[in-house]
Amino acid sequence: MMPVDALARVVANAVQRADPFLAAAAYAAAGEQDRGRLEPILLASYRLKRQFAEAPFAPPEVLRRLAAEPDRKIRLKVARHPATPPEVLRQLAGEGACVETLEAVARHRNAPTEVLEGMPWREHPGVRDALCSNPRAPLALLRALAECAPLAALKGIANSPNADAGLLARLWESPDPYLRAQVAAHRNCPPAIMEAAERDPEPAVRRMLAANPAASMQTLLGLLGDEAAEVRAAAVQGASVPAEELSDLAADPSSQVRRTEARRAALPAAVVERLACDPDAWVRRWLGRNRCVQEPVLARLAADAELEVRRAVSRNPGCTPALLDRLAADPAAWVRAGVALRPDIPAGALARLSAEEDPDVASAIGRNPNTAREVLLRIAASGNADLRRAVILNRAAPREVLRTLMEDPYPLNRVMLTEHPALAGEDLEILTEDPDPHVRFAALRALIRRGRPERPAAAADDSSSTTNPE
């Protein structure tokens, strides 16, 4: 929480500079009286209101204020904003709301349950369909909606976590195979329907059943012998499939099945051995990433002719330091970049890769928490905005390196810089005078989050160049 006097200075500064973006950041933390002073700046023009109503970074407090605007389009944008809080959505759905706003609230993930229940869906098909797709819609509402919703909307109901066995049983009666497939995939799907789904003539239904985490071992065993490769591929992912079944599947004629098997969290050693020799490179790629694969096989895959198989091994957490050292000398930069990203990279490999200029390797080195300060300084001075951003994204980067990026020519980099924990309050204060409005906003937000004041208003007199550049 920011001290009262510090907050007063922040507000005074935003008012003095008439900067709507500083005002937006300060508004979130300000009290009622201060908000009254900030609002004329924040809401100075229709364009600003519209801009904040659709800005991904708009704080909920600003959205709350905008929801009270008389303009219908502004309110609609607030209703569509993902950060709009529940009580604001309740207000927006109140008396006089237009149909578009009602639809947006009906679809919104933050909408309170009682608001969803009270929506006039019988009068407005758009509102009805939006409610069907809202995972917060309660069971009683879903049941009522299912009475009259069209097929496309019924699929939303079949996908809802609140749909119970009774409702799913009703939906199962549909002739549409994709709706039945959704039912078969639902965690609450009743056993009787699962049995019926296992025999369904549509492969999509059997495939979705096979992917259902609630499917029994018996069901999965049945589906492993299915004639459709896509069904067997879905079934092989099931955690309850016994090890002895996996052995046969490693020789399945469909590469889709073997690829999926290579992704399983647990695989017997014999199956790993077999899949490691699979002629399909995708099988070996998936295996290379698999955390259950151990060193002897990983070492073989690390010498694979396919670049992407070696890259997969470089990203496997089970890769030993010796193997990482070997992969750090791989002829393909993409493989070396995979090693360079790892926090557990051996010191020798890190030193070697730190000298590389390939953008993927250099970017990975820039993000690596073990990278030396001098190397980070060099990357931070790169002409490539992506490489400089890699240093900004490195949570271990020291302040002295980050300070060199405070005037980065790419504004997005400066926005991201404000989120770095090593940047000092003084640095953020400087960034509140950045020419880019988003940077100023982000810097002040970060300062407020840290509970630090911006510099006193009297010291900001010379900042006229940043006044309302929009």
Partner 1 sequence: MNGILVIAEHRRGALNPATLEAVAAAVDLKQARAQPVAVAVIARNPDDFLAEVNVAGVDEIIRVAVPTDGFQSDVYEAAVAALAAARQPAVILLAHTVDTWGYAAAVAVRGGFGCATDVYAMRYEGDALVATRAAYKEKLGMELDFPGRQTVLLTLRGNVFKPIEEPGNAAVSSLEAPAVAARTTHLGYIEPEQAGDVDISQAEYMLSIGRGVGDEDNVEQFKELADALGFTLGCSRPIADNGWLPKSRQVGQSGKTVVNCKIYIAIGISGSVQHMAGMKHVPNIIAINKDAEASIFSIARYGVVGDMFEIAKELRNHC
With CB under 8 A as the contact rule, the residue among 37, 170, 315, 403 that binds partner 1 is 315
With CB under 8 A as the contact rule, the residue among 14, 246, 345, 390 that binds partner 1 is 390
Q: Of 77-85, 372-380, 398-406, 448-456, which part binds partner 1 (CB under 8 A)? A: 77-85
Q: Is residue 298 a contact residue for partner 1 (CB under 8 A)?
A: no
Q: Is residue 34 a contact residue for partner 1 (CB under 8 A)?
A: no
Subset of residues 224 to 253 that bind partner 1, contact rule: CB under 8 A: 230
d(CA 278, CA 157): 41
Q: Is residue 363 a contact residue for partner 1 (CB under 8 A)?
A: yes
Q: Of 64-72, 335-343, 449-457, 459-467, which part binds partner 1 (CB under 8 A)? A: 335-343
Q: Of 22-30, 321-329, 385-393, 425-433, which part binds partner 1 (CB under 8 A)? A: 385-393
Closest approach of Cβ 424 to partner 1, in Å? 24
CA 391, distance to chain mean position in Å, is 21
Closest approach of Cβ 354 to partner 1, in Å? 15
Q: Is residue 100 a contact residue for partner 1 (CB under 8 A)?
A: no
Cβ nearer to partner 1, comparing 141 with 364: 364
Closest approach of Cβ 345 to partner 1, in Å? 13
How is residue 166 written in tokens? Answer: 């009774």
Q: Is residue 133 a contact residue for partner 1 (CB under 8 A)?
A: yes
With CB under 8 A as the contact rule, the residue among 20, 59, 222, 338 that binds partner 1 is 338
Subset of residues 394 to 413 that bind partner 1, contact rule: CB under 8 A: 410, 412
Q: Is residue 121 a contact residue for partner 1 (CB under 8 A)?
A: no
Q: Is residue 57 a contact residue for partner 1 (CB under 8 A)?
A: no
Closest approach of Cβ 463 to partner 1, in Å? 26
d(CA 28, CA 445): 9
Closest approach of Cβ 380 to partner 1, in Å? 15
Cβ nearer to partner 1, comparing 380 with 460: 380
With CB under 8 A as the contact rule, the residue among 75, 186, 389, 414 that binds partner 1 is 389
Binding marks (x or -) toward partner 1, 251..290, rule CB under 8 A? Answer: --------x----------------------x--xx--x-
Count, residues near partner 1 per rule CB under 8 A: 33
The full 3-state SS of the chain, as one line of letters, equals CCCHHHHHHHHHHHHHHCCHHHHHHHHHHCCHHHHHHHHHHHCCCHHHHHHHHHCCCCCHHHHHHHCCCCCHHHHHHHHHCCCCCHHHHHHHCCCCCCHHHHHHHHHCCCCCHHHHHCCCCCCCHHHHHHHHCCCCCCHHHHHHHHCCCCHHHHHHHHHCCCCCHHHHHHHHCCCCHHHHHHHHHCCCCCHHHHHHHHCCCCHHHHHHHHCCCCCCHHHHHHHHCCCCHHHHHHHCCCCCCCHHHHHHHCCCCCHHHHHHHHCCCCCCHHHHHHHHCCCCHHHHHHHHHCCCCCHHHHHHHCCCCCHHHHHHHHCCCCCCHHHHHHHCCCCCHHHHHHHHCCCCCCHHHHHHHCCCCCHHHHHHHHHCCCCCHHHHHHHHCCCCHHHHHHHHCCCCCCHHHHHCCCCCCCHHHHHHHCCCCCCCHHHHHHHCCCCCHHHHHHHHHHHHHHCCCCCCHHHHCCCHHHCCCC
Subset of residues 144 to 203 that bind partner 1, contact rule: CB under 8 A: none
Q: Is residue 82 a contact residue for partner 1 (CB under 8 A)?
A: yes
Q: Of 15-23, 31-39, 362-370, 458-466, which part binds partner 1 (CB under 8 A)? A: 362-370
d(CA 191, CA 184): 10
Q: Is residue 207 a contact residue for partner 1 (CB under 8 A)?
A: yes
Site residues (vs partner 1, CB under 8 A) = 80-82, 104, 107, 133, 204, 207, 230, 259, 282, 285-286, 289, 308, 312, 315, 334, 337-338, 341, 359-360, 363-364, 367, 385-386, 389-390, 393, 410, 412
